Amino acid sequence: MPIADKVRIYIPFTIATFKQQFLAYRSRLIIWMIANFITVLFQVYLWISIYSNYEGTSINGYTLVNMINYIIVSKVIESLTFINIEPIISRDVNEGRIATSLIKPISYKTELLFRSLGNILGSLLLFIPIYAAMFIIFNWHSLSEIKLNLGIVLLSLTFIIISFVVNYLIALIFSSVIFKTIRHRGIYEIKKTIILLMSGALFPIEFYPSFLSKILKYTPFIYLRYIPVSFIINYSLSMKEIIEYVLFGAFWMAFLFFIASIVWNKMFKRIIVYGG
Amino acid sequence: MITVSNVSKTYKNKNTKKLVVDNISFDIKQGEIVGYIGKNGAGKSTTIKMLCGILYPDKGCISIDGISPQKNRLKSNLNIGVIFGQRTQLWWDLPLKDSFRILKAIYKVSDIEFNERLEYFDEIFQIKSLLSATVRTLSLGERMKADIVASLIHNPKVLFMDEPTIGLDVYSKVKMREAIQKINQKYNTTIMITTHDFRDVEELCERVIILDKGKIIYDNNIHKFTKKYSDEKKVIISIENQIQMMHLINSLQNKINDIDINFDDKNSFIIITYKKEKKKLMRILNLINENGDLPDFTVVDKPLENMIEDLYRMEHK
């Protein structure tokens, strides 16, 4: 099978990146983990104080527990779909290291994909236990009400995969520009801000003005967070909506794949390797 | 094995255009070791990058084992190994064996072949003792050995070495040259070396291609080259006795024309530079012999480096 063959070629990149995090970047990883944890805690307490000063029990259809779950699951999805290829490309182009990738019979963007998977594995190992513990603590009284069946698990996985692919393709499109700018900082910050605001990473898009949340429903960004999170916390999605979202997700993946291929190949062709 | 025909490359910037490679053509047969030399900025690395499919030439075509690296980079690169002396293809933060494992997967090298090659490189480089070390902690010489093994783990038909001995000490350079020779003999690998160390070329290559300002100014056998350009030789004589030394210098100046004499009476040696001519060396040595017992002497060829200098000078006349 050609796909299995391909995976066998690239899997060592995942393993190497995973090992690298724990061998070389351990302290960085731990600091990152603590920073992330504090952000989540801060968000949770912000909502607790908002809800305690509010008359009703739910805002825009979300109870406090819904909200806390939204934040936690959003963070889990972030770890699961984490793509950080911009600094890698920037460093490779700047130091001319990209030449050593290009002399091999492999595709550079696939190499980047599998290196990202290594990062994800590393962060999962550190983050998931923390988020799982937080989830259990905040849902202590309603744990028995959580229903799990194969269908829900499979659909959750589907939405997470859509989120991952869309995230990877968006990263490819943005990082194509790095071949020209070389520095990644600006591009990376723009991308991060757009995603943060438009994907519903901080809070559900129902909290935006209604015209804005309507517009957002027609962008690929909500597939990064809002949709997988909403589905997983089991809130407000009907069967019809689920099918719609899966189909639209597939459409966005195909569309972004098309755009990414064009942009990436165009920028990739014009690279001139530095030095010499 | 390698065919380059009428290849040109210009680097374009906003305001400047720089012609780096100017209509070059050459053929390299399987199993040849070719020295590709020239000054900084002559276009050596640019050529190598085009041969690897990293850069696109503006004009002309390249084929490696019948495949165009530009049209089919992934397929062509299966046949190619590259060493960039100034950067590494190894994973800096990981044990060396992890880098090898990645390469093994990329090139789909079987376990048997992998182990056999590792054994072989262990013989010439003692590479096995380095396998568990983090690449960052290797010395430059060790890292270079590791890089060479990395670029040969898939037994490529063609090996490009961009300054493989840069930064190495004399002893390591000698070891490195021996290794390159052994690999060429065992696997019949076609090797193209760019270098600034002319000893590399003298000892490894039968053929040199010399590049200047993007143009090939010489492409032929290295011995023919040395024959043509080594028109000067030097005889170095050491004499303890100062009076004898002065006497010798006097008679040399009187009896033989067209020679240049430098002497150093503190360290007691004379350097005689002469143009190559029939029986000239014999006449010099006879004269020395007449002045007493024949002392210690050495005959030195003009260094290759100076010959290339001369070649450049001739080109720009």
**pLDDT value at residue A276:** 33
Contact of A13 with chain B, judged by CB distance below 8 Å, is answered with yes
Res. A160 pLDDT band, cuts 50 70 90: very high
Long-range Cβ contacts of B275-282 (<8 Å, 24+ apart): B275/B231, B275/B232, B276/B230, B276/B231, B276/B232, B276/B233, B280/B256, B281/B233, B281/B235
**pLDDT value at residue B268:** 78
How many angstroms away from the CA of B52 is the closest CA of chain A? 6
Of B304, B106, B92, B117, whose CA–CA distance to B205 is shortest?
B304
Decide: A224 and A199 in contact? Cβ < 8 Å: yes
Res. A235 pLDDT band, cuts 50 70 90: low
- DSSP 8-state symbol, B134: B
| Chain B residues with beta carbon closer than 8 angstroms to that of A25 | 93
Whether B45 and A275 lie within 8 Å, measured CB to CB? yes
pLDDT above 60 for A272: no
Whether B49 and A276 lie within 8 Å, measured CB to CB? yes
How many angstroms away from the CA of B210 is the closest CA of chain A? 17
| Chain B residues with beta carbon closer than 8 angstroms to that of A269 | 56
Whether A105 and B106 lie within 8 Å, measured CB to CB? yes
Locus of tokens 């190559």: B276
Q: In chain A, whose CA is at the least distance from the CA of B75?
A: A105
Of A40, A126, A38, whose CA–CA distance to A80 is shortest?
A126
pLDDT above 80 for B13: no
Contact of A215 with chain B, judged by CB distance below 8 Å, is answered with no
How many angstroms away from the CA of A124 is the closest CA of chain B? 21
**Mean pLDDT value across chain A:** 87
pLDDT above 70 for A50: yes
State the average pLDDT over residues B280-296.
77
- Cα separations (Å) of A36 from A29, A33, A82? 10, 5, 13
Whether A103 and B89 lie within 8 Å, measured CB to CB? yes
| Chain B residues with beta carbon closer than 8 angstroms to that of A270 | none
Percent of chain A whose pLDDT exceeds 90 = 39
Whether A276 and B75 lie within 8 Å, measured CB to CB? no
Alpha helices in B268-303 (DSSP H): 280-290
| Chain B residues with beta carbon closer than 8 angstroms to that of A106 | 74, 106
Contact of A234 with chain B, judged by CB distance below 8 Å, is answered with no
| Chain B residues with beta carbon closer than 8 angstroms to that of A8 | 105
User: In angstroms, rounded to a whole number, what is the distance separating the alpha carbons of residues B17 and A252?
Assistant: 42
Tokens at B282, concatenated: 């014999």
**pLDDT value at residue A13:** 92
* One-letter amino acid of A108: Y
Of B174, B228, B233, whose CA–CA distance to B200 is shortest?
B174
Per-residue pLDDT tens over the stretch B225-267 = 877 777 777 888 887 777 878 888 888 888 877 788 888 777 7
DSSP string spanning B44-55?
Answer: HHHHHHHHTTSS
Per-residue pLDDT tens over the stretch A78-135 = 989 989 899 888 888 887 788 888 888 888 889 999 999 998 998 888 888 888 898 8
pLDDT above 80 for B217: yes
Whether A24 and B93 lie within 8 Å, measured CB to CB? yes
Query: Is the whole-model pTM more than 0.90?
Result: no
Contact of A269 with chain B, judged by CB distance below 8 Å, is answered with yes
- The gap from C-alpha B68 to its chain's centroid, in whole angstroms, comes to 26
CB interface of A with B, residues 100-129, below 8 Å? 100, 102-107
- Torsion over CA of B33, B37, B41 and B45, rounded to 10 degrees? 0
Tell how strand B33-38 and strand B190-194 pair up. parallel
Contact of A29 with chain B, judged by CB distance below 8 Å, is answered with no
Q: Mutating which of B64, B65, B88, B91 best tests the A interface, going by the most A Cβ atoms within 10 A?
A: B91
Chain B residues with CB within 8 Å of chain A CB: 11, 44-46, 48-49, 52-56, 73-78, 80, 82, 84, 86-89, 91, 93-94, 98-99, 101-108, 134, 162
pLDDT above 90 for B166: no
Whether A12 and B101 lie within 8 Å, measured CB to CB? yes
Whether B91 and A9 lie within 8 Å, measured CB to CB? no
| Chain B residues with beta carbon closer than 8 angstroms to that of A17 | none
Q: In chain A, whose CA is at the least distance from the CA of B84?
A: A100
Q: How many CB pairs under 8 A join A and B?
A: 84
| Chain B residues with beta carbon closer than 8 angstroms to that of A102 | 52-54, 73
| Closest by Cβ to A23, choosing from B11, B93, B104 | B93
| Chain B residues with beta carbon closer than 8 angstroms to that of A103 | 52, 54, 77, 80, 82, 89
**pLDDT value at residue A193:** 92
Of B39, B56, B29, whose CA–CA distance to B194 is shortest?
B39
* Cβ neighbours of residue A223 closer than 8 Å, sequence gap 6 or more: A159, A162, A163, A166, A199, A245, A248, A249, A252
Element (H, E) at A143: none
| Closest by Cβ to A16, choosing from B54, B74, B91 | B91
pLDDT above 90 for B34: yes
| Closest by Cβ to B55, choosing from A20, A25, A273 | A273
